[in-house]
Amino acid sequence: MKALTFSTFGDSAVLEYIEIPDPQLKNDEILVEMKAIGLNFADVYRRKGNYHLKGNPPFIAGYEGAGIVIDANNHSEYKIGDRVAFADVPFANAELVAVNVNHVLPLPENISFETASSVLLQGLTAHYLATDSHKTAKGETVLIHAVAGGVGQILTQISKLLGASVIGLTSSAEKAKIGFEQGADHVFLYNEDWKSQVFKIAPKGVDAVYDSIGSTLIESFDVTKECGQVVFFGMAGGDPAPVDPRMLMDGSKTLTGGDLWSYLNSKEERIKRATQLFHWISEGKIKLSEPTSFKLSEGKLAHDFLESRKSTGKIILIP
């Protein structure tokens, strides 16, 4: 099979599209022929050598995708030709992937391979943020950093579905427009005095802040009301400053960490959460931006485009 690989760490020039042996199935795995693969910043971090990475050189990144079963490996619940997807299976940047049966997500006929590979990681992240990390309640006001990003767009829509008002933050007027298109009630720019703007909307502060930037964590607390919550789930802008526990105590504020892998902890949980996401998409309650597609063999171009920060929707790779 062909795969997008790297044997040393570095910029996108280390990526190689090469022929490697097909996966050897273990007893608890089925073989999936990939039709679409999601590209995420975690794959860039893996390529650079600063994120968890499985296997040996030549390394294969990627954890998200969709395809069809071509070897059920004696697992009677699957048959050849079944449409499936996954959000947390390594070595996805290849024509063939061995998928643990506990990680298989049945793919409804009305959800395309491209949609599944566009939405699972970011959509399931948005889902747990709005329903577990913070249990969104009707009438709340929430602040979402990077509102035009992949998670931000879906988190905005889910927050609105659950009855919250949404204030978004982003870096440009073009991206602000995207935030409004997703349903945000207000969108402010980082280069403005956004904290003052937030207090004009929510004089006592917001109920919850979703912070994927990291370096903005203290500012997030500044605009959180007493008894409010900050959910920290990413470091796109760098490591956060240390948080003073006295500040948390004095304002009765809560800091919650968020990581998707903590919630995708069983076959039942994976299927339940993905089914809810697919249901919302099928009903038109969540609308997705059209993904930007690259051939898997054009992986270098895809990585460069992702790192350029010019993309606003999902980038997918097509074998």
Each residue's pLDDT tens digit, 279-295: 999 999 999 988 999 99
Listed by start position, the domains of the chain span: 2-118+288-317, 122-261
Mean pLDDT, to the nearest integer, of 96-125?
A: 96
What CA–CA distance (Å, rounded) separates 254 from 207?
11
Predicted confidence band at 41 (pLDDT cuts at 50, 70, 90)?
A: confident
Assess whether pLDDT exceeds 80 at residue 310. Answer: no
Assess whether pLDDT exceeds 90 at residue 124. Answer: yes
Mean pLDDT, to the nearest integer, of 155-163?
A: 98
Please say whether the beta carbons of 95 and 68 come within 8 A.
no
Task: Determine what percent of the chain is predicted with pLDDT higher than 90.
Answer: 90
pLDDT in the model for residue 307: 86
Task: Determine what percent of the chain is predicted with pLDDT higher than 70.
Answer: 99
Strand partners, 106: 84
* Residue 270 neighbours by CB distance under 10 Å: 21
Window from 126-140, 159-173, 233-247 with minimum mean pLDDT: 233-247
Best CA proximity match to 247, nearest among 272, 224, 214:
224
Assess whether pLDDT exceeds 90 at residue 237. Answer: no
Predicted confidence band at 31 (pLDDT cuts at 50, 70, 90)?
A: very high
The CATH architecture that domain 122-261 belongs to is 3-Layer(aba) Sandwich (3.40)
What CA–CA distance (Å, rounded) separates 231 from 206?
12
Predicted confidence band at 108 (pLDDT cuts at 50, 70, 90)?
A: very high
Assess whether pLDDT exceeds 90 at residue 50. Answer: no
pLDDT, mean over the chain: 95
Which has more confidence, 53 or 299? 299
What CA–CA distance (Å, rounded) separates 289 from 25?
35
pLDDT in the model for residue 144: 98
pLDDT in the model for residue 33: 98
What CA–CA distance (Å, rounded) separates 12 from 47?
8
- 2-118+288-317 topology per CATH: Quinone Oxidoreductase; Chain A, domain 1 (3.90.180)
Strand partners, 6: 15, 59
Predicted confidence band at 53 (pLDDT cuts at 50, 70, 90)?
A: confident
Q: For residue range 240-279, list pLDDT tens digits in order.
A: 999 999 999 999 999 999 999 999 999 999 999 999 999 9
- The pTM assigned to this predicted structure is 0.92
pLDDT in the model for residue 258: 93
Assess whether pLDDT exceeds 90 at residue 87. Answer: yes
